[in-house]
């Protein structure tokens, strides 16, 4: 079955290797043209902005984890330690 499907495209969708290649080349050409027209400041922003977003997301994740850990520690201090002292 896999051998029959390899190399064949769905004729109903009209996807042929040539049409996909032409579409992909046009898309990549448009992106590269847009990128080459950007000045250096915008290119740097485009490069560092995803890093800043990821850093912010990881910081928020870390802070929420610390909050959860703090709540767990407080519950241990308030409930378990008084029981041990009895």
Q: pLDDT of the chain along its 86 residues, tens only? A: 444 555 555 555 566 777 888 898 999 999 999 889 999 999 999 999 999 999 999 999 999 999 989 999 998 888 888 877 77
Q: Name the H helices within the chain.
A: 2-5, 17-37, 40-75, 81-85
Look at residue 44 in the predicted model and tell me its pLDDT.
94
What pTM did the predictor assign? 0.52
Distances (CA, A) of 50 to 1, 10, 45, 46: 42, 37, 9, 7
Look at residue 59 in the predicted model and tell me its pLDDT.
96
Look at residue 69 in the predicted model and tell me its pLDDT.
92
């Amino acid at each position: 079955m896999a051998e029959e499907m390899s190399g064949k495209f769905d004729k109903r969708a009209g996807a042929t290797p040539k049409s996909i290649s032409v579409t992909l080349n046009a898309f990549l050409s448009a992106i590269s043209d847009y990128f080459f027209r950007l000045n250096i400041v915008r290119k740097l922003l485009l490069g560092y902005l995803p890093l800043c977003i990821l850093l912010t997301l990881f910081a928020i994740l870390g802070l929420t984890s610390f909050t959860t850990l703090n709540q767990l520690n407080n519950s241990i201090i308030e409930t378990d330690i008084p029981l041990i002292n009895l």
